[in-house]
């Protein structure tokens, strides 16, 4: 499935503030939460529903509710900045964690932690704010699939064309929902124009 870029004025407004290098960590976290809320809402548009009957103060009526279990898997550590909005929106969601660390010289991700629930039958979101080379996202989704997930959506803030191409080659049919498709990767494999190191800006680390 093709990349889906979030088309909403508020998304662009929030992303502009996230890109600004003068945005302090506490504001960066608030902005990330607001933007992730929009991304998660869009990413769960295709979640399964069912019809029930409810009684209003006036009469009984048919209503539609979520009829499928959900799971969310942030890629540590930057993905943690996207977790809270997903749990706020879907309190019963199952949460797993995948730790991947990118080597600064090779840009190859190394796995150092994985804790995933049984994902069979669950509509699963994988959260990673920066889809740069696509290596971490591809590894993470492979792990998620190994735990039984079939319906998976990749959710990120900013994506690079190189990362999208690699991810789609590794996992054709898995949707990507992002706030923006940026220009390219630079020689250090950072997204251009991007917004810097998401994790460092989120937690105020150098």
- Single out the catalytic residue among 106, 110, 118, 205: 106
- Which pLDDT does position 113 carry in this prediction? 85
Is 197 a residue of the active site?
yes
Kindly give the residue spans of alpha helices, DSSP state H, lying in the chain.
9-19, 25-43, 83-89, 135-146, 161-170, 198-203
112-144 pLDDT, tens digit per residue, is 889 999 999 999 999 999 999 999 999 999 999
Is 46 a residue of the active site?
no
- Residue 31's domain is classified under what CATH number? 3.40.50.2020
- Which pLDDT does position 100 carry in this prediction? 83
- Single out the catalytic residue among 19, 29, 102, 145: 102
41-68 pLDDT, tens digit per residue, is 999 999 999 999 999 999 999 999 999 9
Is 182 a residue of the active site?
no
Backbone phi, psi, residue 162, to 5°: -65, -40
Assigned token pair, 113: 């932690």
Tell if the pTM clears 0.85, that is, is over it. yes
Q: Which residue has the tokens 């019963």?
A: 92
- Single out the catalytic residue among 19, 29, 145, 197: 197
- Single out the catalytic residue among 19, 29, 145, 200: 200
Assigned token pair, 30: 């608030």
158-200 pLDDT, tens digit per residue, is 999 999 999 999 999 999 999 999 999 999 899 999 999 999 9
Measure the CA–CA gap between 107 and 194, rounded to whole angstroms: 16
Query: Domain range spanning residue 143?
Result: 3-194+198-202
Question: Across the strands, what pairs with 101?
Answer: 110
Kindly provide the residue ranges of all beta strands, DSSP E only, lying in 45-132, ordered along the sequence.
Answer: 49-55, 60-66, 70-76, 94-95, 97-102, 109-115, 123-127, 130-131
Domain count, the chain: 1
Is 106 a residue of the active site?
yes
Inter-residue contact 139 to 84 (CB < 8 Å): no
């Amino acid at each position: 499935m093709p990349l889906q870029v979030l088309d909403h004025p508020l998304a662009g407004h929030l992303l502009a503030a996230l890109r600004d290098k003068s945005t302090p960590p506490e504001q960066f976290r608030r902005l990330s939460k607001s933007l992730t809320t929009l991304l998660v809402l869009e990413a769960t548009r295709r979640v399964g529903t069912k019809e029930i009957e409810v009684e209003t103060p006036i009469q009984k009526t048919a209503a539609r509710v979520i009829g499928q279990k959900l799971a969310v898997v942030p890629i540590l550590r930057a993905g943690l900045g996207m977790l809270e909005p997903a749990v706020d929106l879907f309190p019963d969601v199952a949460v797993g964690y995948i730790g991947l660390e990118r080597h600064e010289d090779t840009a190859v991700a190394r796995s150092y932690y994985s804790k995933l629930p049984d994902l069979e039958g669950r509509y699963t979101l994988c959260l990673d704010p920066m889809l740069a080379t696509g290596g971490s996202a591809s590894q993470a989704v492979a792990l998620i699939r190994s735990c039984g997930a079939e319906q998976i959506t990749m959710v990120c803030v900013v994506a690079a064309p190189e990362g999208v191409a690699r991810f789609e080659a590794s996992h054709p049919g898995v949707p990507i929902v992002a706030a923006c498709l940026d220009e390219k990767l630079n020689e250090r494999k950072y997204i251009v124009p991007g917004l810097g190191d998401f994790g460092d800006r989120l937690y105020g680390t150098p």
